[in-house]
Amino acid sequence: MEHCEMNCGSCIGKLCTKRVPIFSGLEENQLIEVAKRIVHKSYEKGSIILSENDNPDFLAIINEGSVKAFKLTPEGREQILYVFTEGDFFAEHALLFNRPAFYSIAALERVMLCFLYKKDFQRLLRDNPDISIKIISELGERLFRLENAVQNMDVRSVESRISMVLSEWADKFGVPQREGILVKMPLSREGLANYIGIARETLSRKLGSMESEGLVRSVGNKSILILNKKALEKNFGSDF
């Protein structure tokens, strides 16, 4: 892990507070107040940033790279819950509640994180009370969206879950190509199967069917070409 000695306001053209939804409603001068309190740290691929049942005292914003949130089952198997990318954040509950983390966080690649510590957050709210309503409202919306996403995964068909994740990753990681959208996968095939909650063999079989239907094409082990995103989205829209 490396430490960066500059605060968020020193970043050239990449002020992370501007990129995070919980701060999106703030005025420029309010963003600067938040930025003054940000501390930067970088982590290498595979580093554990947060462990389940830890009591974090920070909000972490992803400025560069991606991380996975996961839990270990009683059998010791890793269950991936979310993949967070640039502009996402985690451990937000630590700013409002004294509760342990219900997941672990590991770096999927080298990541640069921006930390806002609880003591600084509380001082920020005390000195700028008009900020608190905006931030707390967005935090509530965020928790609702995450809970909704988990519930949706539970009730959807396998095809729908695969299509939903690929469509989401096309938006986050996709690069437009002549034939479609090339997605560099943030997870291995085994990790993707784990994330969706199916066996790797089932994932391979379903992806093969989707290739036959002209929806996607595998490009090596780490990339997928989305050939027909609209048809892919119909797959998960048809569940409801």
Please report the pLDDT score of residue 12 as a whole number.
40
Tell me how far CA of residue 186 lies from CA of 119, 122, 178, in angstroms: 33, 34, 22
Please report the pLDDT score of residue 149 as a whole number.
63
Please report the pLDDT score of residue 174 as a whole number.
93
Better-scored residue on pLDDT, 219 or 121: 219
> Bridge partners of 39?
115
d(CA 204, CA 147): 28
d(CA 180, CA 83): 23
Under DSSP, is residue 47 helix (H, G, I), strand (E, B) or coil? coil
Angle of the 118-127 helix axis to the 129-155 helix axis, nearest 10: 130
Model pTM? 0.78
- Amino acid (1-letter code) at residue 56: P
Please report the pLDDT score of residue 237 as a whole number.
61
Model pLDDT for residues 66-116, shown as the tens digit of each residue: 999 999 888 888 889 889 988 888 998 787 778 899 899 999 999 999 999
Q: What domains lie within the chain, and their CATH numbers?
A: 2-154 (2.60.120.10), 157-237 (1.10.10.10)
Q: Note the maximum CA span of the chain.
A: 59
d(CA 59, CA 76): 27
Model pLDDT for residues 216-231, shown as the tens digit of each residue: 999 988 899 999 999 9
Q: Which residues of 175-213 are buried (b: 16+ CB within 10 A; e: fewer)?
A: eeeeebbbbebbbebebbbbbbebeeeebeebbeebeee
Say if residue 238's pLDDT is above 80: no
Please report the pLDDT score of residue 26 as a whole number.
75
Average pLDDT of the residues in 152-156: 64
Q: Do 1 and 42 touch, CB atoms closer than 8 A?
A: yes
Q: Of the candidates 20, 22, 141, 136, which has an alpha carbon nearest to the alpha carbon of residue 86?
A: 20
Say if residue 39's pLDDT is above 50: yes
DSSP 120-153: HHHHHHHH-HHHHHHHHHHHHHHHHHHHHHHHHH
